[in-house]
Amino acid sequence: MITVGIDIGSLSTKSAVLKDKQEVLAYDVIYTGGNNRQSAQTTFRNVLDKAGLTEDQVDVVVTTGYGRENVPFSNKNFSEITCHAKGMYFLNPEIRTILDIGGQDSKAIQLDDDGNVLNFLMNDKCAAGCGRFLDIIARALNVQLEEMGEISLASTSAARISSMCSVFAETEVVSLVAVGTPAPDIVKGVHDSIATRSIALLKSVGIREPLGMSGGVAKNIGIINSLQEKLKMKVHVTDYPQVTGAIGAAYLG
Amino acid sequence: MILTREFKLIDGNDRKLQARKMRENLTSYNMDNYIEPSFPKTARYRSLFNAYYITECFKEQTKVAYVGEVFPNELLFAFGFISLNFESISTLFSQSEAIDMCLRLTEENYLPRDLCSSVRAAYGAALANCLPRPDMIIINNHLCDGLSKLGFQFSKIYDTVYSTFNVPLQETDESVAYLAEQFQHVLQEIEQATGMAYDDARFRQVIALSNEAKDYFLKTIDIAKKVHIPGLQRELYEIMAVNCWGMKEMVKICRTLYDETQEKLAAGETAPRMKRMLWVGLAPDQSHEMVQYLEHKIELVYWTTYWEGNLMLLDSGQTLETMARRSISYLWNSVRMREQTAYVCDENEIDCIILVNTWGCRNMMGLGQAVREMALLKKIKFLSVDVDIRDKNNYSFSQVKNRIDAFLEIL
């Protein structure tokens, strides 16, 4: 049985193909852009190409994410909370708490032994501490988003960055650059700021170990380090953090 | 500029002008989201009464008082007053596109967006000069200090009598006596403001009407707890929002709802039990997208309907004391919040709770933890969402829907 999961997020659209709900055949990540219906179509074609499959061979397509109800070829859809839970359960069934940092929202999800959601919390009102926040800071520092984790490892003294607002944080960063604060310290400060926010979210929902992290931000070693330093516990990251939701959607197919 | 340096309305404080402005502004009701009422007779009486009530407010000879939520309206009805509370004014405007105009006016006049939109909407309506000039403002200075300050500001705008009272947070014999004494004082202030003498016989009649209406209401609530009749919880909430206990029309509305409920029971017009979700916090009118979305998927039970302070009958022998007890028990504190929400959950076999934090309402945000802890103890699924039921600039349905969908999947 071939199932495809498509996760249409605010920043990126992800897809994954599962065979018999046991094996990840392929995955794909593209920018969502202004037309999420189109981006779903594009990533669907991409992931099938990568898996060497045709549309006729697909049994079920499941969508998730903000654009989940806007995909005509979707057979069913689930919220990304459920999909991240199932995706994490598929990738690492030991995990009992998930931190997912997406483009515009962060989620703390508590799981039961079967990968069902027991409880969850999401950020409200403000996207400070999310993927978009890192995106803005990377641009302000003129570095690549993907390099931020490595850059932060050279920090000797993290700068203090408020976590009030993504846009205002950019101003803060520009001010720090102006007074000669080294880029690694600024980036480390940004990571600490995100970690602090995320930990408040995690503690509100209750942390049951082991803790896993999903979402594109989980690929950032700087964030993982900040979280581990502050939590004093290991943060597990799977081989497919960015497509956990898409894998979960395919698993639910 | 809308106000003079002395806070007076520049274009005048005249009810004819205010009525015209109200008609001009309240032109576009959200008819697209209109829902056929499940209890047509009750809804018709209720709508007629609301229309009559608003029309009366603008008549020159009508005595109008603006009040806070916890003030016992029966005291005013005994003097022939019509009372308007600020929250109802905001709800009225939020059912039309006029709400945007009200909120825009407040921002143009230096009120921050972070202030509760219930307060802002009522203030905006005053700035648009489409509210009836009040003869008196009576407001509690606690818990909602925003409302208290708004009341004071209104007294300056309309150059009218401002009376305030303090509601203690805890219910003890001393605190009840303290508040009852203040109500006695308010009665004297009403006498002074209107030149009318307190009429004990009229007062007792109002109390009897208040209890009679509430008696029908309580009997209907007992049915609603046990059986799912589509639309009943919403109608109960709408009646609670009318909040005119003590007027004879309330008896008619509540009796009609009880009769219609009995008719539906007799005709077998009940529905299979759905999951029950308790809505904790301010609730919008039924045209609101969030309410409509949820009511298709779940049976919504409104916390306001079952809140002890809203349901208490008045003791005709100790009227002011029971009014005081009612006002105190209406207020939120963490212990009351936990205990009463737990009681409502037990009585209604609630499956899940949605805590609706209204943007800018510090009271609700500060007390949310008490509800969450209670839900945890009782193993009731709990979702907290930040919304703004009045100001669409402070809220995105797609964001909230995402959380609701995830929550419903857990259930």
pLDDT digits 0-9 by tens, A216-231? 899 999 999 999 999 9
H or E segment to which residue B401 belongs: helix B397-410
Q: How much of chain B, in percent, has pLDDT values that exceed 90?
A: 73
pLDDT band at B1; cut points 50, 70, 90: low
Helix runs in B160-247, H state only: 173-194, 200-226, 232-242
Which has the higher per-residue pLDDT, B8 or A192? A192
Give chain A positions within 8 Å (CB) of B384.
Answer: 121
Quick: pLDDT tens for A34-89: 898 999 999 999 999 999 999 999 999 999 998 999 999 999 999 999 999 999 99
Task: Note whether B386 contacts A125, CB cutoff 8 Å.
Answer: yes
pLDDT at B399 (0 to 100): 85
Q: What is the mean pLDDT of residues B277-302?
A: 92
Q: Is B378 helix (H, G, I), strand (E, B) or coil?
A: helix
Q: pLDDT-derived band of residue B67, with 50, 70 and 90 as boundaries? A: very high
| Helices assigned H by DSSP within B6-128 | 15-25, 40-57, 73-77, 86-94, 98-108, 117-127
With beta carbons less than 8 A apart as the criterion, state whether B9 and B3 touch. Answer: yes
Across the interface, whether the CB atoms of B409 and A122 are under 8 A apart is answered no
Question: Is B409 close to A66, i.e. CB distance below 8 A?
Answer: no
On whether the CB atoms of residues B275 and B313 are closer than 8 A, the answer is no
Does the beta carbon of B380 lie under 8 angstroms from any beta carbon of chain A?
A: no
Q: What is the pLDDT of residue A164?
A: 63
How far apart CA A175 and CA B122 sit, in angstroms, is 41
Interface contact A66-B385, CB threshold 8 A:
no
Mean pLDDT, range B129-142, rounded to an integer: 93
Given a cut of 70, is residue B30 above it in pLDDT?
A: no
Contact B341, B333 (CB under 8 A): no
Whole-number Å distance between alpha carbons of B91 and B112? 20
Whether A89 has its CB under 8 Å from any CB of chain B: the answer is: no
- Give the residue-averaged pLDDT of B317-322: 94
**A64 at B interface, C-beta within 8 A:** no
Please tell me the predicted confidence (pLDDT) of residue A163.
62
B383 beta partners: B354
**Residue A195 host element (H or E):** helix A183-205
**Contact residues, chain B, for A122 at CB < 8 Å:** 402-403
What tokens were used for B229? 């009749």
**Confidence class for position B394, pLDDT limits 50, 70, 90:** confident
Chain B residues with CB inside 8 Å of A82's CB? 406, 409-410
Measured between alpha carbons, how far is residue B28 from residues B31, B107, B151 in Å? 8, 22, 27
Q: Is the pLDDT of residue B325 over 70?
A: yes
Shortest distance, CA B341 to any CA of chain A (angstroms): 20
Strand A235-237 relative to strand A106-111, pairing = unpaired
Give the pLDDT confidence of B353-384 residue by residue, as tens digits.
999 988 888 888 888 889 999 999 999 999 99
Question: What is the average pLDDT value for chain A, to the nearest integer?
Answer: 92
Using CB atoms, pick whichever of A66, A80, A81 lies closest to residue B398.
A66
List A180's β-bridge partners, or say none.
none
B69: helix, coil or strand?
coil
Between chains, do A124 and B406 touch, taking CB under 8 Å as contact?
no
Q: Which of B211, B208, B209, B187 is nearest to B199 (CA)?
A: B187
Q: How confident is the model at residue A199 (pLDDT cuts 50, 70, 90)?
A: very high
Please tell me which residue of chain A has the smallest CA distance to B376: A119
Query: Would you call A66 and B402 a contact, using CB atoms and an 8 Å cutoff?
Result: yes
The structure tokens listed for B293 are 């979305």
Q: What pLDDT sits at residue B358?
A: 85
Taking the Cβ of residue A66 and every Cβ of chain B, the question of whether any pair is shorter than 8 Å is answered with yes
Cβ(B128)–Cβ(B105) under 8 Å?
yes
Amino acid identity of residue B219, one-letter, is K
B398 touches chain A (CB under 8 A): yes
Is B406 in contact with A79 (Cβ distance < 8 A)?
A: yes
- Judge whether A252 is closer than 8 Å to chain B, CB to CB: no
- The pLDDT, as a whole number, for residue A145 is 87
Residue-range domains of chain A with CATH: 1-92+239-253 (3.30.420.40), 94-237 (3.30.420.40)
Tokens 């000069």 appear where? B129
* Arithmetic mean of pLDDT, B395-404: 89
The closest CB to that of B406, out of A118, A120, A125, belongs to A120
Per CB-CB distance under 8 Å, the chain A contacts of B378 are none
pLDDT band with cut points at 50, 70 and 90 for residue B311:
very high
Nearest-Cα distance to chain B for A134, in Å, is 21
pLDDT exceeds 70 at position B233: yes
Chain A residues with beta carbon closer than 8 angstroms to that of B405: 79
Residue A124 and residue B385: Cβ atoms within 8 Å? yes
Q: How far apart are CA B80 and CA A177, in angstroms?
A: 68
Contact in structure between B281 and B355 (CB atoms under 8 Å): yes
- Residues of chain A with pLDDT > 90, as a percent, come to 73
Min CA distance, B402 vs chain A (Å)?
A: 7
Q: Could you give the CA distance from residue B377 to residue B381 in angstroms, rounded to a whole number? A: 10
Judged against a pLDDT cut of 90, whether residue A233 lies above it is answered with yes
Average model confidence (pLDDT) across chain B:
92
The tokens of B273 are what?
């039990």
Q: Is the pLDDT of residue B29 over 90?
A: no
Give the residue on A whose Cα is nearest the Cα of B393.
Answer: A125
Determine the longest span between alpha carbons in chain B, in angstroms: 63
Q: Enumerate residues 6+ apart whose C-beta is below 8 A from A194.
A: A101, A129, A133, A134, A163, A217, A223, A226
- Smallest Cβ distance to B409: which of A82, A105, A118? A82
Q: Computed from CA positions of residues B33, B296, A71, B395, in that sequence, does the dihedral angle turn out positive or negative?
A: positive
pLDDT, tens digit, for every residue of A111-140? 999 999 999 998 766 776 788 888 888 888
Residue B263: predicted pLDDT: 97
Q: Best of A124, A132, A201, A203 to disrupt the B interface by mutation (most B CBs within 10 Å)?
A: A124
State the pLDDT confidence band at B6, using cuts at 50, 70 and 90.
Answer: confident
Structure tokens at B252: 């008619």
Unique residue bearing structure tokens 């897809």: A15
Residue scoring higher pLDDT (B365 or B262): B262
pLDDT of residue B359: 83
Phi-psi region of B61 (alpha: psi -120 to 50; beta: other; left: phi over 0): alpha
pLDDT of res. B121: 95
Verify whether the Cβ–Cβ distance B409 to A80 is below 8 Å: no
Determine contact, residues A106/A97, Cβ cutoff 8 Å: no
pLDDT average, residue stretch B235-256: 96
The angle at the Cα of B141, spanning B139 to B146, to the nearest 5 degrees, equals: 90
Task: Indicate the DSSP class of residue B283.
Answer: -
What DSSP assignment string belongs to B124-142? HHHHTT-SPPPSEEEEE-S
**Interface touch A124/B386, C-beta < 8 Å:** yes
Q: What is the ipTM of this complex?
A: 0.86
pLDDT at B35 over 80: no
Q: Are residues B278 and B352 in contact, defined by beta-carbon separation less than 8 angstroms? A: yes
- Beta-carbon separation of B410 and A80 below 8 A: no
pLDDT, greater one: B112 or B207: B207
B32 at the A interface (CB within 8 A)?
no
Interface test with A, best of B290, B384, B394, B402 (most A CBs within 10 A): B402
For B288-395, list the strands marked E by DSSP.
299-302, 352-358, 381-387
Residue B335 has pLDDT above 70, yes or no: yes
